[in-house]
Amino acid sequence: MSAPAHVVGGGFAGAAAAVALARRGVPVVLWEARAAWGGRVASFTDARSGERLDNGPHLFLGCYARTRALLAELGTGHLLSFQPTLHLPRFDAGRAAALHCPELPAPWFLVGGLLGLPLTWADRLRLLAAGHAIRRPVAPGLSVASWLAAIGAPAASIPLLWGPLCRAIMNLEPAEADAGAFAAALREGLGGTAADACLGWSRVPLGDLLEAVLEDRLARAGGTVRHRRVARVVLDGDRVTGLATGDGETVPARRVILATGPAHLQRLLPAHPALQGVRQQVAALGAAPIVSVYLWFDRPVAPMGESPFVGLAGGRVEWLFDRDRMAGRTAGPGQRLAAVISAADAVADWDDARLVAATLDDMAVHLPAARGIRPAHSRVIRERRATVRLAPGVDRPRPGAVAGVDGLYLCGDYTDTGLPATIEGAVRSGEAAAAALATCGHLY
């Protein structure tokens, strides 16, 4: 019987690592300090409404192959819904400005969508040329704004297309975001088939995609789950020997995957010269916030057509989600919405009342039915470390799966996945860490 592998962190990265190890026949001990699974995409119960809410709305892409495979293995893949074709509706002072791609083979679906944007024909042709440039390598150190200028993206397309995409993908403004990571995400999302580009969402709280089913999957493979806090990794020289828990116990452990966020990672890593490089890499990344504002109305105020989400131009709120439609509920006297403010450095410290007021102001600009209507209930969620801050050139110091001491591995969307901080990047990193651990030997 091989010695157990310990995975610390129950988000998508940790879940992917644990399931991948179980699939290889390696017994797993999965540690999660909280009762809820999901990490930064966990769900919780709102006391006033009694509803399960997510830390913030998240979308999936059709090209999230490893995420979809993980959820299929856990038996929850059917809880995702996907668009039949890529459709990004956006309101600009009441005018529709959607990127709507026809159901055509690649690359014609994207060509059709770009040609349908409200631009001059000259700008449409320049936009097509810029879109083709996505496939080419990006010079290191460029911001998204500089890269867009270099590939000839028309200025009118920035607020209409590139800016919203950058904030959604990178959680940063174009002038602050690394062009290489942004282009890599675009190549995966838009450079494949029409189905790869389609957006999807969970019909249940995101935590339900992992909770219960994850524990059952590991138990069937001989693994265990421990809802206890790990305080730090214990070393003997250059080797991992254990995990020190928050209540003072030291648990023997020879192979450990740390699947936490960057801030928790810094606290878990012991002082060791071989780990200083990882510490410096993680510290260099920084963090970027996202604010989500949940709103309950006693009447419909945001008609969105067939889409469960819509972009709002020109204000603080980037996207507005119809939670009823996302859950498959189309009838009812009221409407439950969630507004997302990405790249939220300027507003993350605002109090709840100011954030709710700003959200209602943005809605009133675009949605006449929302004017003068107050929500029956609201809830503000600030995820101050929602994503790592991939500034220009920062992709180079992202750590890999091997930490630098024998028996210690890393995973998470902050690692060198080749993608921005996404669920798919987290899942891939978990599988990469599991592969590194399982092939290193020393498991007996």
Query: Model confidence over 315-329: pLDDT tens digits?
Result: 999 999 999 999 998
Give me the pLDDT at residue 94, please.
Answer: 62
Give me the pLDDT at residue 443, please.
Answer: 42
Q: What is the CATH number of the domain that holds 229?
A: 3.50.50.60
Residue 111 lies in a domain: yes
CB atoms within 10 A of CB 168: 18
Mean pLDDT computed over 287-307: 93
Instruction: Tell whether 105 and 229 lie within a shared domain.
Output: no
Count Cβ atoms within 10 A of the Cβ of residue 361 and give its class: 0-12 exposed, 13-18 middle, 19 or more buried: middle
Instruction: Tell whether 11 and 38 lie within a shared domain.
Output: yes
Total number of domains constituting the chain: 3
Residue 73 parent element (H or E):
helix 65-74
Q: Are 90 and 96 in contact (CB under 8 A)?
A: yes
**Edge-to-edge strand list for the sheet holding 256-258:** 224-226, 28-31, 5-8, 256-258, 408-410
What the block records as the tokens of 290 is: 């996202």
Among 372, 388, 404, the domain boundary falls at 388
Among 196, 219, 246, the domain boundary falls at 196
CA neighbor of 153 nearest in space, from 108, 109, 183: 183
Give me the pLDDT at residue 83, please.
Answer: 96
Instruction: Tell whether 399 and 384 lie within a shared domain.
Output: no
* Euclidean distance between CA atoms 147 and 134, whole angstroms: 10
- What are the helix and strand counts (H, E) for the chain? 15, 22
Mean pLDDT computed over 176-191: 94
The 3-state DSSP class for residue 26 equals: coil
Residue 405 lies in a domain: yes
Residue 433 lies in a domain: yes
Instruction: Tell whether 395 and 281 lie within a shared domain.
Output: yes
Instruction: Tell whether 308 and 228 lie within a shared domain.
Output: no
Cα 361 from chain centre: 27
Give me the pLDDT at residue 279, please.
Answer: 93
Residue 137 clears pLDDT 50, i.e. is over it: yes
Instruction: Tell whether 219 and 190 lie within a shared domain.
Output: no
Q: Are 405 and 239 in contact (CB under 8 A)?
A: yes
Mean pLDDT computed over 181-194: 93
Instruction: Tell whether 100 and 175 lie within a shared domain.
Output: yes
Q: Are 57 and 204 in contact (CB under 8 A)?
A: no
Among 130, 161, 196, the domain boundary falls at 196
Residue 72 lies in a domain: no
- Average per-residue pLDDT in the chain? 93
Instruction: Tell whether 259 and 395 lie within a shared domain.
Output: yes
Give me the pLDDT at residue 37, please.
Answer: 84
State the DSSP string of 310-360: EEE-SSS--EEEEHHHHTT----SSEEEEEEE-S-TTTTTS-HHHHHHHHH
- pLDDT tens for 87-100 read 999 988 766 778 99
Residue 69 lies in a domain: no
Instruction: Tell whether 140 and 189 lie within a shared domain.
Output: yes
Residue 103 clears pLDDT 70, i.e. is over it: yes
**End-to-end alpha-carbon separation of the chain, Å?**
7
Instruction: Tell whether 278 and 379 lie within a shared domain.
Output: no
With a CB cutoff of 8 Å and minimum separation 6, the contacts of 443 are 2, 3, 5, 26, 254, 255
Instruction: Tell whether 42 and 110 lie within a shared domain.
Output: no
* Euclidean distance between CA atoms 312 and 95, whole angstroms: 10
- pLDDT tens for 415-428 read 999 899 999 999 99
Q: CA dist 293 to 58, 82, 84, 309, 342, Å?
A: 13, 24, 28, 14, 11
Instruction: Tell whether 165 and 192 lie within a shared domain.
Output: yes
Percent of the chain with pLDDT over 70: 97
- pLDDT tens for 394-407 read 656 799 999 999 99
Q: What is the CATH number of the domain that holds 295?
A: 3.90.660.20
* Euclidean distance between CA atoms 426 and 411, whole angstroms: 7
Residue 424 lies in a domain: yes
* Euclidean distance between CA atoms 9 and 11, whole angstroms: 6
To 10 degrees, what angle do helices 108-115 and 121-133 make? Answer: 150
Work out the pLDDT band at 305, boundaries 50, 70, 90: confident
Query: 57 preceded by cis ω (within 30°)?
Result: no
Residue 46 clears pLDDT 70, i.e. is over it: yes
Residue 125 clears pLDDT 60, i.e. is over it: yes
- pLDDT tens for 220-277 read 999 999 999 999 999 999 999 999 999 999 999 999 999 999 999 999 999 899 999 9
CA neighbor of 148 nearest in space, from 179, 110, 172: 179
Residue 37 lies in a domain: yes
Residue 444 clears pLDDT 50, i.e. is over it: no
Residue 308 clears pLDDT 80, i.e. is over it: yes
Question: What predicted TM-score, i.e. pTM, was given to this entire model?
Answer: 0.95
* Euclidean distance between CA atoms 244 and 132, whole angstroms: 52
Residue 66 lies in a domain: no
Give me the pLDDT at residue 441, please.
Answer: 53
Burial track 328-346 (b if 16+ CB lie within 10 A, e otherwise): eeeeeeebbbbbbbbbbee
Tell me which residue range forms the domain holding 98: 87-196
Amino acid found at 409: Y
